């Protein structure tokens, strides 16, 4: 197994391994060490079907089951892998359809699953169909950004608790997205703003475009604080832009990165399959839970009446 850097601060391409051959004893220990150290792994030229993608993801932990998470029921061992695609039933979806607008909302900087009861450890994405141009995925290392934070910002972040909801990111695109079942079913969550890696000890800023508030902080001050942090983390020097090829597989650490999709011509198909793995205490989950408890009813995000797109 050989590696080459993707970015000076994080991420490596891993060569010389067929991901269908990875087992708990074969290759996975090396892959897991690379994951903990670099937070982003790229494997090109892979041939993962849904079963093989699930098999690989399960080595990292339990597959995320969003329906079970919101219903409070036991997670299924192998829920269907979500498709990120503007094609359905053999036809391209209209560019103004809610399903496409929901994909476009992912073009904001975010971290997956921060609005779930159990956040994600990884996202494992396979590219199947890519457009002729655009459609890249950009990632930043919030571990590198945390290391570079000015001392005053780092001190303010150390004990902060962020409030997360998927709703604000959808409002920024179209208020009608709030009526989608796959949006409306999620509540709000509270997570500490720093997630230390239990293997390496390195802290990362645990932040997302889903953050709408800071516990104990007035709304205007919280908005300014989060905006300042997001702007710092997403400066150009922290960004890795991945131009997809069919057969590419990316695995990223949700504890230590943010990402966003980039626009592409919507008269062309872009289809990826994405499965997240839920974080466990061995992944440091206990350390990101607030000591003063989960999100409270009075902290919930309340969409403004007659909401219009924010941008």
Over residues 40-88, the pLDDT tens digits come to 999 999 999 999 999 999 999 999 999 999 888 998 999 999 999 999 9
pLDDT at 311: 44
Which domains, ranges and CATH numbers included, belong to the chain?
2-299 (3.60.130.10)
Q: Are 255 and 113 in contact (CB under 8 A)?
A: no
Query: What is the SS3 assignment for 309?
Result: coil
pLDDT at residue 307, as a whole number: 58
How far apart are the C-alpha atoms of 55 and 22, rounded to whole Å? 9
- DSSP label at residue 79: P
**What's the confidence (pLDDT) of residue 237?**
94
Q: What is the pLDDT of residue 303?
A: 85
Instruction: Count other Cβ atoms within 10 Å, centred on residue 254.
Output: 26
Q: Strand, coil or helix: what is 84?
A: strand
List the structure tokens of 60: 């990292």
- pLDDT of amino acid 308: 57
Ordered strands of the 137-141 beta sheet: 239-242, 137-141, 257-261
Task: Write down how long the chain is.
Answer: 311
- Determine the distance from the C-alpha atom of residue 274 to the mean position of all C-alpha atoms in its chain, rounded to a whole number: 10
pLDDT < 70: residue spans in the chain:
306-311
Report DSSP state, residue 262: -
- Burial of 270 from C-beta contacts in 10 A (0-12 / 13-18 / 19+): buried
88 vs 106: CA distance, rounded Å: 18
Give the tokens for residue 56: 């690989």
* Cα–Cα dist 31/249, whole Å: 13
Calpha distance 29→152 (Å, rounded): 38
Helices (H), 129-203: 142-148, 151-158, 167-171, 181-184
| Cα(232)–Cα(145) distance, integer angstroms | 7
3-state secondary structure of 215: coil
- What's the token pair of residue 20? 């269908």
Q: How far apart are CA 199 and CA 81, in angstroms?
A: 28
pLDDT of residue 64: 97
Coil, strand or helix: which one is 195? strand
Nearest to 225 by CA among 238, 212, 210: 212
Smallest CA-to-CA distance from 270 within 97, 125, 127 is with 127
At 149 the pLDDT is 97
Secondary element (H or E) of residue 53: helix 50-58
pLDDT given for residue 47 in this prediction? 97
Specify whether the CB–CB gap between 106 and 99 falls below 8 A. Answer: no
């Amino acid at each position: 197994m050989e590696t080459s850097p993707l970015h000076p601060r994080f991420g490596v391409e891993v060569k010389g391994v067929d991901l269908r051959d990875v087992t708990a004893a074969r290759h996975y220990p090396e892959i897991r060490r690379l994951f903990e150290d670099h937070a982003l792994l790229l494997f090109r030229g892979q041939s993962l079907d849904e079963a093989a993608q699930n098999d690989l993801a399960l080595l990292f932990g339990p597959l995320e089951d969003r329906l079970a998470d919101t219903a409070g029921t036991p997670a299924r061992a192998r829920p269907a892998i979500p498709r990120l695609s503007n094609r359905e039933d053999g036809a391209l979806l209209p560019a103004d359809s809610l399903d496409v607008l929901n994909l476009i909302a992912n073009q904001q900087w975010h971290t997956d699953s921060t609005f779930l009861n159990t956040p994600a450890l990884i996202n494992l994405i396979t590219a199947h169909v890519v457009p002729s141009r655009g459609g890249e995925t950009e990632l930043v290392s919030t571990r590198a950004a945390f290391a570079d934070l000015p001392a005053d910002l780092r001190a303010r972040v150390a004990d902060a608790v962020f409030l997360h909801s998927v709703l604000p990111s959808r409002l920024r695109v179209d208020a009608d997205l709030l009526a989608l079942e796959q949006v409306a079913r999620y509540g709000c969550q509270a997570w500490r703003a720093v997630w230390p890696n239990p293997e390496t000890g390195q802290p990362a800023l645990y932040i997302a475009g889903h953050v709408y508030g800071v516990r104990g902080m007035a709304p205007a001050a919280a908005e300014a604080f989060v905006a300042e942090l997001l702007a710092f983390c997403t400066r150009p020097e922290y960004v890795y832009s991945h131009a997809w090829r069919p057969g590419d597989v990316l695995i990223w650490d949700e504890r230590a990165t943010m990402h966003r999709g980039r626009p592409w011509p919507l008269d062309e198909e872009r289809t990826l399959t994405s499965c997240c793995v839920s974080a466990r205490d061995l992944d440091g989950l206990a350390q990101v839970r607030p000591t003063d408890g989960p999100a409270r009813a009075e902290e919930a995000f309340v969409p403004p009446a007659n909401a219009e797109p924010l941008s």
